């Protein structure tokens, strides 16, 4: 993943979730912006790593379309998705970080024709993140927490962040009620976090044999407070986490 080789695709749903990545690229290598399917793909390098950075926007279709373009139009070697999520696991709190080992679509249900959650005709319900990429991402998160966790907790009024590894679930819903999060926990007890893009990225990457990894900072706990918590986390905190994690991930 060095300059001159196939680039790394880096994406988030919303601009706040990318932090200063495009500015960092502009300062280091300059940016060539290519517009494709109503999205801007920013091509350049960050810390010597050749990258294509873009915004997927929100939801599984948007994410699948964007990652498909990263694969076909930009020939990315691997894909990293960064952003926020709702905490679902019992010990997953606002300010924690979840690195996916696997991803599922919690709203996919073609039963009784196919088992609930299974992608029809693909025969898979759980998509694995690339283990080496996820390890590198988790190591970057651990370094970020060791270097900046105490300061970040004091600054943002959260507990010192913990890094979790496990199942992230995705669906085309913003989960924002005690009843909905309880139903999610009952259906998928292993789920640590819920968001709206990761499993779609993982499915497309699986189908094309492209390694992918997903990291999510917890902005809310998917309950009745989620909308307020999500908006304040997104506007005040998400960028700092993304910068801290991606900087360490890209540095060798
Ligand atoms: N992204 C961040 N918080 C979320 C939630 N509660 N539901 C779905 N996606 C999210």
Compute the distance between CA of residue 237 and CA of residue 217 in angstroms, rounded to an integer.
9
Helix or strand or coil: residue 134?
helix
How close is the Cα of 9 to the center of ligand 1, in Å? Answer: 23
Q: Please, which pLDDT band fits residue 2 given cuts at 50, 70 and 90?
A: very low
How close is the Cα of 31 to the center of ligand 1, in Å? Answer: 31
At residue 183, the pLDDT reads 97
Top CATH class, 8-251: alpha beta
pLDDT tens-digit series, residues 71-105: 999 999 999 999 999 999 999 999 999 999 999 99
| Composition of the chain by helix, strand, coil, percent to 5 | 40, 30, 35
Q: Confirm if 210 and 84 have CB atoms less than 8 A apart.
A: no
High-pLDDT (> 70) share of the chain, %: 98
Q: Which of 185, 81, 98 is nearest to 138 (CA)?
A: 98
How close is the Cα of 196 to the center of ligand 1, in Å? Answer: 7
Around Cβ 70, how many Cβ atoms within 10 Å? 28
Q: Please, which pLDDT band fits residue 156 given cuts at 50, 70 and 90?
A: confident
Compute the distance between CA of residue 125 and CA of residue 118 in angstroms, rounded to an integer.
4
At residue 216, the pLDDT reads 97
Does the pTM surpass 0.85? The reply is yes
Q: Confirm if 139 and 145 have CB atoms less than 8 A apart.
A: no
Higher pLDDT, 143 or 159: 143
Residues contacting ligand 1 via CB (< 6 Å): 84-86, 174-176, 194-196, 219-220, 222, 226, 230
Q: Please, which pLDDT band fits residue 151 given cuts at 50, 70 and 90?
A: confident
Q: Confirm if 147 and 222 have CB atoms less than 8 A apart.
A: no
| Four-residue CA torsion sign, 103, 77, 35, 216 | positive
pLDDT tens-digit series, residues 182-231: 999 999 999 999 999 999 999 999 999 999 999 999 999 999 999 988 98
Active-site residue, 135 included: no
Compute the distance between CA of residue 24 and CA of residue 20 in angstroms, rounded to an integer.
6
Cis preceding linkage at 165, omega within 30: no
At residue 50, the pLDDT reads 96
Q: Confirm if 66 and 11 have CB atoms less than 8 A apart.
A: yes
Q: Confirm if 163 and 148 have CB atoms less than 8 A apart.
A: no
C-alpha separations of 3 from 44, 84, 167, 244, 246 in Å:
9, 28, 32, 22, 17
Measured in whole angstroms, the distance separating CA 59 from the mean position of its chain's CA atoms is 12
């Amino acid at each position: 993943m060095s300059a001159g080789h196939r680039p790394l695709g880096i994406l988030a749903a919303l601009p706040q979730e990318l932090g200063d990545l495009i500015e960092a690229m502009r300062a280091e290598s300059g940016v060539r912006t290519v517009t494709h399917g109503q999205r801007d793909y920013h091509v350049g390098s960050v810390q010597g790593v050749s990258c294509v950075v873009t915004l997927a926007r929100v939801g599984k279709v948007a994410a699948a379309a964007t990652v498909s373009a990263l694969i076909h139009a930009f020939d990315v070697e691997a894909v990293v998705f960064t952003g926020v999520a709702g905490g679902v696991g019992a010990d997953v709190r606002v300010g924690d970080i979840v690195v996916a080992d696997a991803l599922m679509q919690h709203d996919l249900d073609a039963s009784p024709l196919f088992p609930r959650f299974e992608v029809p005709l693909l025969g898979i319900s759980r998509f694995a993140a690339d283990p080496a990429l996820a390890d590198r991402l988790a190591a970057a998160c651990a370094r970020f927490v060791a270097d900046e966790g105490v300061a970040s907790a004091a600054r943002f009024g959260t507990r010192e962040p913990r890094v979790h590894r496990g199942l992230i679930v995705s669906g085309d819903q913003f989960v924002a009620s005690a009843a909905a999060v309880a139903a999610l926990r009952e259906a998928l007890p292993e789920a640590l976090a819920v968001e709206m893009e990761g499993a779609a990225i993982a499915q497309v990457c699986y189908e094309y044999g492209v390694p992918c990894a997903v990291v999510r900072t917890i902005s809310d706990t998917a309950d009745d407070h989620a909308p307020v918590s999500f908006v304040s986390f997104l506007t005040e905190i998400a960028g700092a986490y993304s910068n801290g994690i991606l900087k360490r991930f890209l540095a060798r």
